[in-house]
Amino acid sequence: MAKLDTLQEVALRTKLQQMLQQHRDMDAAIQSLEETGTGDQLQLRRLKKIKLDLKDRIQQIENMLIPDIIA
């Protein structure tokens, strides 16, 4: 993978922070719905799917920011 320039790295780190916050917010929403019992199962499944997708995208960005180490 090509090395990122400084501007690209800053943009990715900013996006990463936003996505981490979204992931935390999604986790709090899911937990709240589960505790109160006000959410239906379909809604909970959708939120969990979105949270999982965010986690995957976060991992992709983290992989782009961490340089490959040749063993």
Mean of all residue pLDDT scores within the chain: 90
Could you give the angle at the alpha carbon of 31 between the alpha carbons of 36 and 13, nearest 5°?
Answer: 150
Whether residue 39 is contained in a domain is answered as yes
Kindly state whether residue 42 falls inside one of the protein's structural domains: yes
What is residue 50's predicted lDDT score, i.e. its pLDDT?
Answer: 96
Which residues contact residue 35 at a Cβ distance below 8 angstroms, ignoring those fewer than 6 apart?
none
Residue 71 in domain = no
The answer to whether residue 1 sits within a structural domain is no
State how far the Cα of 2 lies from the Cα of 5, in Å rounded to an integer. 9
Q: Each residue of 37-54: pLDDT tens digit?
A: 877 889 999 999 999 999
What's the structural domain count of the chain?
A: 1
Is 70 contained in some domain? no
- 53 in any annotated domain: yes
Residue 69 domain flag: no
